[in-house]
Amino acid sequence: MLLPILLLSAAGFTVLTTEFIIVGLLPSIARDLDVSVSQAGLLVTLFAFTVAAFGPFLTAYFARFERRRLFISVLIMFGLANTLAAMAPNIGVMAVARLIPALGLPVFWALASETAVDIVGPDYAGRAIAKIGFGIVCATVFGIPVGTLISDAFGWRTAFGILAVIAFAKALLLFIYLPKTNLHNQQVSFRSQFKILRSPLMQGHVLLSILVFSGMFTAYTYLADILERLAGFNGTVVGWCLMGFGAVGLIGNSLGGRMVDRHPLIASMVFCGFMIGGMVALVPSIHSTLGLAAAMGIWGVTQAALFLVSHVRLMKAAPQAPAFAASLNIAGANLGIGLGAMVGGHVIDTLGLGSLGFAAAGFILVSIVLALLLMKVKAPAVCA
């Protein structure tokens, strides 16, 4: 059953690259569409808030559908949306192109994660999702930076056009090679899934995801801009820096997958603690090659790890409805991404780029305190 997981991992690469490729393209998009970088950053907020608002409802509804057909449909939708983005004449059309895939991302990611866990069993959930998460890390390692390099050489529209072709190709691969899967014979009802939100523990876990991702994306949304304006790098060098940032995420993905199976909240606190160090050290080290590499390396490892840890943490907190719990993490994470992009844009306009790391670290510090509090909350009994 390794092949279905690898196919879903490959599809996940396309899905997550579609969401985050814009991080490396923001300066180019802003110039071409005649808006400021902070205004272009609202495209990140739009995508994230759409996922947060509709993700749990769409996941709960589509959980009853046959997986193969559903995953193929999502990839086709992503291909069409990226085609529209490549042709967008203004920021309004670009916003529509970002809105469409935001509806499909939580459905794909939550149900693909559930499918992987069903294959290997809940005791190895972290390692199974780490395999799916490998596609996410590759999106950071290759998708975002290669998109930046393509944008620098041929324009940002070409980057979206190539991503559209890849999405259609992945849909074809799933059609040919992915077997029909419907592993959950007894689906939890729509109403029962939403009942888990009554638990203070679940509410705390969702809030933790919001805080963690708010911190990450307060600074990460504008990382390309930091490297361009503060470090003085051109688009090509920025692309290679982002590739290095993502490459070390392979380490974080592996570490996160192992640590989260032992203790999800401790794993969250450990990686959050190291992330604060990387974020705060980035700007002071901006003109030191070794210092900048170290700061970005620590940040890159912890960011990739926290993507995985946050996801598995919610699924383990609600084993009776893992896909819905995963969708809650996705919703909370994207709400955090949207808030982070907004806060980061405001920090840039008022305090400057150099203050982003400290603002981001504030969110992460609060998340560590919340994780400590959640460790003292007893999980509710699971009803049969």
Residue with tokens 């059953």: 1
Would you say residue 183 lies in a domain? no
When pLDDT is averaged across residues 152-175 and rounded to a whole number, the result is 92
Measure the N-to-C terminal CA separation of the chain; round to a whole number of Å. Answer: 29
Count up the domains in the chain and report the number: 2
Residues 144 and 209 in one domain: no
Task: Answer whether residue 259 shows pLDDT above 60.
Answer: yes
DSSP 355: G
3-state secondary structure of 190: helix
Q: Is the dihedral of CA 243, 244, 247, 248 positive or negative?
A: negative
Most confident stretch, 52-66, 77-91, 139-153: 77-91
Would you say residue 188 lies in a domain? no
When pLDDT is averaged across residues 20-39 and rounded to a whole number, the result is 87
Give residue-wise pLDDT tens across range 108-137.
Answer: 887 887 777 666 666 666 666 667 767 777
Task: Kindly report which listed range (100-114, 148-162, 187-201, 365-379) carries the lowest average pLDDT score.
Answer: 187-201
Task: Kindly report which listed range (16-30, 279-293, 311-325, 364-378) carries the lowest average pLDDT score.
Answer: 311-325
Q: For residue 185, what pLDDT is reported? A: 45
d(CA 37, CA 28): 9
Torsion angle of alpha carbons 7, 11, 16, 17, nearest 10°? 110
Residues 244 and 130 in one domain: no
Across 233-267, b (16+ Cβ under 10 Å) vs e yields bebebbbebbbbbbbbbbbbbbbbbebbbeebbeb
Would you say residue 384 lies in a domain? no
Listed in sequence order, the DSSP H helices in the chain are 2-32, 37-40, 42-62, 67-87, 91-120, 125-138, 144-154, 156-177, 190-195, 200-220, 223-229, 235-247, 249-262, 264-282, 289-317, 322-350, 356-374
Given a contact cutoff of 8 angstroms between Cβ atoms, the answer to whether 329 and 313 are in contact is yes
Residues 165 and 200 in one domain: no
Model-level pTM? 0.76
Would you say residue 204 lies in a domain? yes
Q: Which amino acid is at 148?
A: T
More reliable by pLDDT, 10 or 183: 10
Q: For residue 364, what pLDDT is reported? A: 95
Give the whole-number percent of the chain exceeding pLDDT 70.
Answer: 89
Q: For residue 128, what pLDDT is reported? A: 66
Structural domain span for residue 321: 195-375
Q: Which amino acid is at 288?
A: S
DSSP 124: G
Would you say residue 173 lies in a domain? yes
